[in-house]
Each structure stands twice: as C-alpha cells, then as structure tokens.
Structure 1
C-alpha cells in the first residue's frame, strides 16, 4: 500500500487545487477561532486602542468587503499569470511540454493562489458574523484586524509572485529544477555505493535455465505508463504461489491493457486470481513521473536540449547547460549501486526485475544530443568534458567501458561533421584527455572516518 499512498500524495501535490484548498480551510479555521475569542473573551482592546480597533459595524463591513473583493480579483490575476507563464514556456519552443507538470506542482504557484483565495474565504466568514446595533451589535474586532493584516500580507505576496514568475520561466531555472528533482530520485532509489562489484546478475547458467522454463504471461488490466511498482508486494505474491515472477514491463514503460505485464513460471497451481494479484502492485498512470523513474528526469532535460539544437531555435547555450546538468546527474549516479535484477527470498529466486542500467541512462542522456549536435563544436566539447568528469567518479570496469563507447561515438560524430582544422584539433586534444582518464584507474576519496582519518 505504501507505493499507492505515495502515488496518491504525488498526484495531490502535483494538482493545482490541493494546497489552495488546504489553505482555504486553514483561513476558515483562523476566522472561526478569532470570532470565538472575540465572542467569549473580553480583552478590552477597543478601549485600550480605539484608533486600531474602534471601527463600527459599517466600517468593519466596508473594510472586509473591500479586502474580499480585491483578493478574489487578484486570485484571478495570479491564475492568469500562471497560465500565461505556461503558454510562454511552450510558445518559446525552448522547453518541452513535459515541464508543465513542474509548473503545476511548484509550491510557490500553489501557495500564492492559496493565500489570496484563503484571505477571501476568511473575510466572508468574518463578514457573516458582523451585526449592527439594531441586531444586538457584534463586531469581532480581532478578526477584523486579522483581515486588515492579511490584506497587507496579500500585497507582499503579489509583489513576490510577480518577481518569481519572471524568473521561473527562464531556461536555467527550468533545467535546474528538473535536475534537482532527478538528483533527489537518484539519492532515494540508489543510496548504496557500488565499489568494484557488478551492477547486475551475471549467472549465465541461471539465465539459460530460466529461459527453458514454461512461462505464463499475465496481462495488464490498465493502459498507461507504469509509474511505481511495489517490489515487496510482487515478491509476496511470488512467494505465496511458489513461483518465479518476471517483470516484462518496467517503470516508465507504456503498457496496453491485455498485453503481457509480467510472466510467471507455471507449476500447475496458478489460477485466474493471480492476474489481479500481480496487477495490484503496479500503479499505471497517464504520464510518467520522476520519483521512481530517473530516466524520465533525464528525458526532460534531453528534450530541452533537443529543442535548443533544433534549426528553428539554435540555442547552443541552453544545450550546453543541459549537458552540464546531465553531467551532475550521472556523476551522482556513477558510484551508486543499481539494484540487481534477481530478487531472492531465503536464497530462492522469486522475482526477475526490470529496471534501469547505467549504460541505458548514459545512452538516454547523450545519444540523441550527439546525433543532433553534428557540427556544433561547443556541445561536442562539453559532452566530452562531461564524460571525463563521469569517468573520474567511475570505478566499475563495465561502466567505464560504456563511457568509452560513448566517447568513441562522439569522436565519430566529430570526425564526420567538423571540417575546420582548428576545431578538429581542439576536439582531438579533448579526446586524448578523456581517453587518458578512462585508461587510468581513478583515485576516489571516501568519507572520513569518525576518528578523523581519511581513506583513499
């Protein structure tokens, strides 16, 4: 249930209504609290500060009506500004439509809308309790003062929001936000360091033995992108049925209802109920998310780079910036252990997982940029610099081989598309440096011990 709850929370957090709705409820609760305090506790505040609290029923109504009207108007302006920012982000042709979700889940955008709608709701609740002299006379002085203070808070928030929107649609902010989200996913999904061990199971005999078994395909019951998978629940189903489950679709893959989602070895005891049990651990949605899908975070940045390299835009600086942030992601990932494909339960194989690999993520990061950066010396040089930085953090021989293959692919692209002797010389010098780094065992500094000694 935990992945499903996490998915529910992510969906609510990404919506444009959840945070404003919570803030409206908070504003209503604050108004109710202050009104109750005014009605039941005699604070003598009017006598002590008559200029601050001395407004009568008509004055209080006028003040709160003006605040409520202006706040709901500004809320509409905020919503319009947000939509205009989204439209500009798309119309600029520098960004991909996949970054719209980042705008929607931005806490500042949600909170600002919540502030203005919340102040409006606060004023409505307080207005309802004000009565003139003929009606028994009640003016909640503290609540009215609270409305005045909230009006000034709203003014400050509006000024800040205008500044925030003007900076949030810049390419650097959008790329940095996508990279930061991806880095957080790397830290969460791959917390352990790799050392000198291999990433994946390499037992060829086991792979051949499993290939000879009779596998029964279990179809998906929904169509969409696989957003999360509860690995523990999948392991529990395999244990309960005494079988081995193989994931045919991994996180981030698109699955069509009725096509194979997983496969299981049939010992003669499988029945139709296992289809529902094996579908239950999967959360299938209409779009991919970054939380368990590092490749999607990389995909967003690559898409921005592709737009920047398109002939209609030709923005080399943005493409270089994308390569820089992809470097940061892969440098963070390089020393991390990626979970093995074979999941055991008391030394018995139960689940053959389908997940990311270091080589796949490197290809996702650089292949399309390389294919579209032909003739662009700045981007090709920056990609070689990126691979040099990643290689300096990579101990595993298989991963270094992947980086070497990517370097040679970039060298081939440069050889084919760069004509200037000077530019070819610059690229040749950088290629030599990268190849030297890949040929040299890197020195990796580990965290210092508690007694103050450091190890290499």
Structure 2
C-alpha cells in the first residue's frame, strides 16, 4: 500500500496528467457529436432549441476561428501567469514548494479545460467546408464549442482568484499543514501502542552488509517484504536508513545478522524492497511536511523578507501537527515472524527527531526575535495535555531548556529576555503539572 501511495503522490505532482485526460475526453466528445450529434436532436421542436446554432458552414467557420484565436490567447495568458506565480512562490516561500502548486487539482483542471476546448474547436473546425449544406453543418457540435468557450471565460476569472489567493503566505501554510495532517493519518496508527518500537538486544553475530547501489532519496521501504526475505534466509536484517534519507551508492545500508551471508538472489530482493529516487515524498516520510513548513518560516525570518508573523503562523501549525503525532503510535521499528522471532529492525522517526525538525532551525534563526521565541514557548506549553509518556514530556522540556539558553545567549534587551524566560517558565509549569495529573489519573 505504501508503494501504491508513493506512486499516487508522484502522479498528483504531474502537471500534465489531468490536462491530458481532459484533452482526450474533449476529442472523444468532438468525435461523438460530429458522428451522432444529429440523433440527439431528433424529435425536438425547433421552438424549444432556440439556443442551437443555426448558421451556415461559412459563418460557423468564422465563428470557430474567432473562438480558437481567443482561446489560444487566454491559454497563453494562463500559462504565463502560472510561471510568474511559480517564480514568485519559489523566491518567497522556497523552490521545493513548487510541487505543491503543480499538484493543485483546480489549477490542473483549468489548464485541462483550456487545452481540451482548443482541441475540440480544432477538430470541429476542420470538418467545416463550403460544400456542406445547411443540414450538413454540425449545429450541436458548434453550439457545444461556444458553450465550452463561455465556461473557459468563467474559469479564467476563477483562475485569477485562485492564483491571487494561492501566493498568500497564510494560505500556503494552511494548505501544507492540511497535507501534513493527511500524511500523519495515513502513516501513523490511530491507536496508541499498536506498533512495536522497543529495539531488542542483538544476540546474533554480524554476517555481512547490503548496499543499495543507488544514489538518491529513499521514498519507500517495504519492511514486510524484508521480513519475508529474512525469514527465508533465517537472518535478521537491521535497516540503517529510512524514508527521507539521501543515500550514496555504497554503504552499510542494511546489516545482516545471522550464521551465514545471504544469497545473491536474496540480496537483490532486499534492494528491490527500497524505492530510491531523485526527490523526497511523503509516502513514508513524516518529516517531509514538517520540513516544508520549517522552510517557509526560515525564509520569512531571513533578512531579505523579515516577516516574523508568517513564522508565527508556521509555529502554530507545527504545534497542531505535533499534537496529533503525540496522540498516535509512531511507525513500527520491529518486525517479527509468526514464531515471534525478530526479523527486521528499522530506523524510524521518533518523538525527539520530529520535534527537533519542527523547532530547532526556527529557534536558531529567530534568536533575536522575542515574538517568535515567545510563540514557540507558548506552543510547547499548549502541548502539555497530550504529553502522556515520559519520552514526549522530556522532549518538550528539553526544547524549553534550549529555548531558555537561546534567550540568555542572544543580544536581547533585559525586558525582552525577561518576557521570553517568563513564558518559558509558564510553559514548563504547564507541562509538569499536566504530566503529574496524567500520572495520578493512570494510577
């Protein structure tokens, strides 16, 4: 399922796929109306189809030629505006967010509508000549072409509104956060304690290593397939990489523990269990969406942009994402066979790494901005009700301690430093109080 999800994610990012499908549908519609359109109008009273085009072939050709010229102009405008917006978004929000705009279904459908209408009008236009009588003109096909052009005009207005709102930083942050929440729900189990994460002690000797012989980002690791291979070979596989890591061709990517090395066929099967490509995807990578949000905040905090309020909006969304993560089980790190023997030990994202990814870089970039430091402290304090384990509590308290060190070391005014430290102490008190209440409740 994760391989399939990875394929779906990659297909959604292809700007050409939906326009191609809509263009094929437009060609099919043109062929059907040209060959069978007359049958649709049989039995209709002429008074009831006043909307139907009733001109001759010459005027129909002139009409479609004008429509085609206008459609080409509008399509050129749409494409030009798209590239301008992508350039602005790359400069302000980060080049890696271009994929988010390209994956927008509404933008893809509008481009598909324009391209499909152009192809439709071209097909209908080439069937018109002066030898056609009044009965030979495909009236309904010409009428549909006019209607599609009107729809394109309305779509152009919607497209301008869509693009204007798409580059507003808060809207981009909201969309990335929504995608991140969807990824969290897809990747992490809903019930706590559903996955095994405690790493067992390795009591089997090391029999060799496997390098993946491919350079690039790990997108998906098929751990169930690795467990099957380990069962067949009677070994234990320790996976040293995870989704989101960049690999060199050589390295100890998988360590084999057992009495003997694996066969060449098994080694190739292990390599086939990894999907490695040129870019990261969120199919298994929890840090993917967090990293996108952090990149927006870092660009907002850069001297060239200096927009701390966008960084504050990102911090709020990061807090909401961590809140959901803390209430779910993290990805499994151990796979066993049917007899209970450990077959695969995986390296997976933990609470510490996810929280570090969310806040470390922002804290370091905002060392002299009390507004941002205070907001980080407030969000960490608001996470107190969901810190039901010692690991999550210690992680949050550790980040509050790092935040206090930053406030003391940076060149802040005494009043600003005092304000930041006060909010940090309030957050620390909230975390400690809620954790004690939760412990007493469990007892």
Do these two structures clear the TM 0.5 threshold for a shared fold by scoring above it? yes
**1:89-238 to 2 correspondences below 5 Å:** 89-91=89-91, 94-133=92-131, 138-194=136-192, 200-203=197-200, 206-207=201-202, 209-210=203-204, 213-238=205-230
C-alpha distance in 1 between matches for 2:173 and 2:190: 26
Among 336, 339, 343, the alignment partner of 2:335 is 343
- Structure 2 partner of 1:21: 20
- Structure 2 partner of 1:52: 52
Q: CA deviation at 1:379?
A: 0.5
CA contact (8 A) 1:228 1:292 kept: yes
- Structure 2 partner of 1:392: 385
CA shift digits 1:415-456 (9 cap, x unpaired): 222543332332233122211122123578xxxxxxxxxx9x
C-alpha distance in 1 between matches for 2:238 and 2:406: 38
Q: CA deviation at 1:275?
A: 2.4
TM-score where L is the length of structure 2:
0.92
Q: CA deviation at 1:127?
A: 2.1
Q: Is the partner of 1:55 in helix, strand or coil?
A: coil
- Structure 2 partner of 1:71: 71
Q: Is the partner of 2:52 in helix, strand or coil?
A: helix
**Runs of at least 5 residues in structure 1 that lack an aligned partner in the other structure:** 445-454
- Structure 2 partner of 1:264: 256
C-alpha distance in 2 between matches for 1:376 and 1:387: 17
CA 1:198–1:292: 2 relative to 1, 3 Å: closer
C-alpha distance in 1 between matches for 2:51 and 2:415: 78
- Structure 2 partner of 1:6: 5
C-alpha distance in 2 between matches for 1:333 and 1:142: 56
Greater mean deviation of Cα atoms: 14-23 or 137-146? 137-146
**1:295-444 to 2 correspondences below 5 Å:** 295-346=287-338, 347-417=340-410, 419-441=412-434
Aligned positions, number: 436
C-alpha distance in 2 between matches for 1:193 and 1:311: 43
CA 1:135–1:194: 2 relative to 1, 3 Å: same
C-alpha distance in 2 between matches for 1:149 and 1:297: 41
Q: CA deviation at 1:30?
A: 1.7
Q: Is the partner of 1:293 in helix, strand or coil?
A: coil
TM-score where L is the length of structure 1:
0.89
CA contact (8 A) 2:217 2:278 kept: yes
CA contact (8 A) 2:5 2:283 kept: no
CA contact (8 A) 1:302 1:322 kept: yes
Q: Is the partner of 2:306 in helix, strand or coil?
A: coil
Q: CA deviation at 1:336?
A: 0.9
C-alpha distance in 1 between matches for 2:429 and 2:229: 49
Root mean square deviation, CA, Å? 2.3
CA contact (8 A) 2:209 2:255 kept: yes
C-alpha distance in 2 between matches for 1:231 and 1:60: 62
